[in-house]
């Protein structure tokens, strides 16, 4: 009996190496044929930012996420896994990730750990 395809939401950080490592693990270990992987980058936004600045930031972020996903297209195709890129604005990155996970009914939410941050 075939299983229901899973929805896997992956938070893409601004560190491309860390993001690629997380995507690679999700594709090779977690994902199965017909699963959907949504790679999301959440941009923090203050209410004072101009529309022009926001649009520019959005264009750069979309290009970044697409470039991170680019090297996984063939692997996903051969494994029959659907790969999607998404960029959203939210005043809180954590809230944005949780809201998106709820809105797409994600089965999994994968996040990068920040190894470079010092403990204070």
Question: What CATH number did the domain enclosing 11 receive?
Answer: 3.40.50.620
Q: Could you tell me if 72 and 28 are in contact, meaning their C-beta atoms sit under 8 angstroms apart? A: no
Give pLDDT, residue 2. Answer: 59
For tokens 């790679």, name the residue: 39
The answer to whether the Cα torsion of 76, 81, 85, 89 is positive or negative is negative
Taking only the tens place, the pLDDT of each residue in 25-42 is: 999 999 999 999 999 999
How far is residue 90 from each of residues 39, 60, 94, 97, measured CA to CA in Å?
A: 16, 16, 9, 9
Would you state the pLDDT for residue 60?
92
The answer to whether position 2 is within a domain reads: no
Residue 90 lies in domain: 7-110
H helix count then E strand count, the chain? 4, 4
Whether residue 65 lies inside any domain: the answer is yes
**pLDDT number for residue 44:** 84
**pTM greater than 0.95:** no
Total domain count, the chain: 1
């Amino acid at each position: 009996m075939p299983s229901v395809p899973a929805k896997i939401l992956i938070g893409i950080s601004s560190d491309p190496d860390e993001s690629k490592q997380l995507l690679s693990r999700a594709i090779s270990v977690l994902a199965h044929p017909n699963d959907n992987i949504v790679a999301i980058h959440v941009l923090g936004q203050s209410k004072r930012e101009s529309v022009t600045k926001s649009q520019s930031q959005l264009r750069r972020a979309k290009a970044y996420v697409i470039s991170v996903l680019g090297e996984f297209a063939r692997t996903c195709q051969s494994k029959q896994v659907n790969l999607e890129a998404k960029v959203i604005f939210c005043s809180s990155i954590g809230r944005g990730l949780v809201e998106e996970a709820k809105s797409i009914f994600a089965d999994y939410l994968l996040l990068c750990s920040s190894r470079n941050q010092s403990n204070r």
